[in-house]
A and B are shown apart, each in its own frame.
Chain A
Amino acid sequence: EAQVTQNPRYLITVTGKKLTVTCSQNMNHEYMSWYRQDPGLGLRQIYYSMNVEVTDKGDVPEGYKVSRKEKRNFPLILESPSPNQTSLYFCASSLLQGHGYTFGSGTRLTVV
């Protein structure tokens, strides 16, 4: 089944403890992206990647890192999480520029 897989689905962590949210797609898509979704603020793009080793900042990149060493994987790294990073995170991929995204099921992160 064609899909974007995120892990974990739920995560509660403490301020400052480094964490990684994994994202993998099995559709051989070129583009991958991370979004956060907050009530009243909608979906905001954190980082995106157009291909292996090519990444760029979205609208809210502060406090996040990404890497794209393989085409299928695009992990999101929070080096020192803070409570304002508590949010619902989505990974997404698309075949090419100008194509719609396939989204993962989401990761609900709580930083205390």
Chain B
Amino acid sequence: EDQVTQSPEALRLQEGESSSLNCSYTVSGLRGLFWYRQDPGKGPEFLFTLYSAGEEKEKERLKATLTKKESFLHITAPKPEDSATYLCAVQAGDAGKSTFGDGTTLTVKP
């Protein structure tokens, strides 16, 4: 059974204080690892897809990296508008079947 574990559950940062979110996964035959951002009361918003170990993707203050066992979402000099829940998901085996982690809720204080 595919498993995705995100840590920490919650993270509070001061504006400008860089940090990383972790996503550990156990799957057989990874087809893709995905990062999403979810704001309260809204649907998740797609951020990145990573396909193989060593791959990196960047978007503004966010950078996602992938190893064979985990992925990190690095947030550089965060701003209050980066406050959200960040979800990690994996797609493996059966096409279309995805497993999500429980998310990390990030709060950035001005």
Contacts and interface: CB of A to CB of B under 8 A. Distances in A.
A89 B99 CA distance: 16
A40 B46 CA distance: 21
Secondary structure call for the B interface: strand
A9 to B, nearest CB: 10
Nearest to A44: B100
Contacts, number: 70
Nearest 10 Cβ contacts at the A-B interface: A103-B43, A100-B46, A43-B100, A97-B95, A42-B102, A48-B96, A98-B32, A98-B31, A103-B44, A31-B96
Interface of A: 4, 31, 33, 35, 40-45, 48-50, 56, 58-59, 90, 92, 97-106
Interface of B: 31-32, 34, 36, 41-49, 51, 87, 89, 91, 94-103
